[in-house]
């Protein structure tokens, strides 16, 4: 029987409930810090407060406090928002912090125990630049061994083995670094063996998702167990999305709540608004792709938590779904995207 592996043990797919498929509750994002504009240096170097929040929302990666998504204040704020998520109907969260992002698996386990929300943790590797020497030199075979161990045996946390439930997020730059090619190949090879779900983080280039899929599929990975993340900042044309859909992967819109059009990590493009994300999802639904769509927020900075004036993990449920219902999306279609698709992606027979 297929199951879903949470950090507290396996569950049957019908227990997953409404699911956010790409989130973080603790990670180190300081690598992506960007120096602040000269005119706002003082405000962006200050502690986040009502008087500085406007600047942080415009330049989120220019506040060192904002990208330190791992201190005690951030952990407490994340826990508060996970409880709000559950209050508003949330059932599960897929935590995408992989090797290189300094995930806090102990905190994820504590959150699962204290909130009652199911957490599914990932294995796999983030971009090459964030790896320490011991991981940067791994071969494809060593990577497959590591991913297998994390999923089948687990990682020891306080004397107990905590198992990962998928491989992700597997990240790459563009052109794809050799280390990252190896991690994609290893992901495809071991996915074929285990049957687990995988999640990819493409670089901010329209060709990146296609190159990742080619490497993954050539290595033996199943397209229908693969999520391509961050498409709302990568592929801006419906024709490109439809072309990617032909490869059979899940198409994930996971930046809901990001409403600042100035995108510091790729200033050549304008970030979509939530309204535009809804528009694109509706077009994809009209194209018959509702069974390949996923939604999430990818919260990875403090300013997106409610304690810092943000929207929290419940934003899709309380703000986005009502707008989609008002525009004609059916309950069945929403259930497909937020319940059925996540369960189908995550379930496997370890």
Strands of the chain (E only): list them. 4-6, 9-11, 19-23, 27-28, 68-69, 92-95, 118-123, 155-157, 160-162, 166-171, 197-201, 226-228, 250-253, 293-295
pLDDT of residue 304: 98
> Token match 């069974």: residue?
291
pLDDT of residue 350: 86
The Cα 88–Cα 85 span in angstroms is 5
**79-131 per-position pLDDT tens digit:** 999 999 999 999 999 999 999 998 999 999 999 999 999 999 999 999 999 99
Please give the DSSP secondary-structure letter assigned to residue 287.
T
- Domains of the chain (ranges; CATH) run 13-346 (3.20.20.140)
Burial of 132 (0-12, 13-18, 19+ CB in 10 A): exposed
pLDDT of residue 291: 98
Tell me the pLDDT of the chain averaged across its residues: 98
pLDDT of residue 281: 98
Residue closest to 250 by CA, chosen among 186, 321, 322, 166: 166
pLDDT of residue 61: 98
pLDDT of residue 1: 81
pLDDT of residue 86: 98
**13-36 per-position pLDDT tens digit:** 999 999 999 999 999 999 999 999
pLDDT of residue 115: 98
Residues of the chain short of pLDDT 50, as ranges, are none
Q: Model's pTM, two decimal places?
A: 0.98
């Amino acid at each position: 029987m297929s199951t879903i592996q949470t950090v507290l043990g396996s569950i049957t797919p019908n227990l997953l409930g409404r699911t956010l498929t790409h989130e973080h509750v603790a990670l180190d994002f300081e690598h992506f810090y960007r120096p602040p504009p000269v005119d706002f240096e003082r405000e962006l170097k200050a502690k986040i407060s009502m008087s500085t929040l406007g600047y942080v929302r415009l330049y989120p990666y220019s506040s060192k406090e904002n990208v330190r998504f791992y201190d005690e204040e951030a952990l407490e704020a994340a826990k508060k928002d996970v409880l709000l998520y559950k209050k508003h109907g949330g059932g599960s969260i897929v935590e995408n912090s992989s090797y290189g992002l300094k995930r806090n698996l102990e905190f994820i386990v504590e959150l699962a125990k204290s909130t009652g929300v199911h957490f599914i943790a990932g294995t796999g590797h983030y971009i090459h630049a964030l790896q320490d020497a011991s991981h940067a030199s791994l071969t494809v075979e060593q990577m497959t061994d590591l991913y297998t161990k994390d999923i089948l045996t687990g990682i020891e946390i306080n004397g107990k083995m905590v198992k990962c439930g998928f491989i992700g997020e597997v990240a790459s730059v563009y052109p794809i670094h050799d280390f990252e090619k190896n991690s994609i190949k290893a992901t495809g090879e071991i996915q074929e063996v285990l049957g687990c779900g995988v999640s990819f983080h493409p670089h901010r280039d329209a060709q990146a998702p296609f190159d990742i899929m080619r490497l993954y599929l050539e290595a033996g990975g199943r397209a229908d167990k693969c999520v391509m993340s961050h498409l709302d900042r990568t592929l801006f044309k419906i024709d490109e999305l439809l072309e990617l859909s032909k490869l059979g992967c899940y198409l994930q819109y996971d930046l809901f709540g990001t409403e600042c059009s100035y995108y510091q990590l790729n200033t050549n493009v304008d970030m979509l608004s939530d309204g535009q994300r809804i528009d694109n999802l509706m077009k994809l639904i009209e194209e018959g792709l509702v069974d390949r769509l996923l939604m999430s927020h990818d919260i990875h900075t403090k300013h997106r938590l409610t304690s810092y004036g943000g929207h929290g993990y419940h934003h899709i449920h309380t703000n986005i779904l009502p707008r989609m219902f008002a525009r004609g999306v059916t309950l069945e279609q929403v259930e497909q995207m937020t319940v059925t698709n996540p369960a189908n992606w995550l379930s496997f027979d370890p």
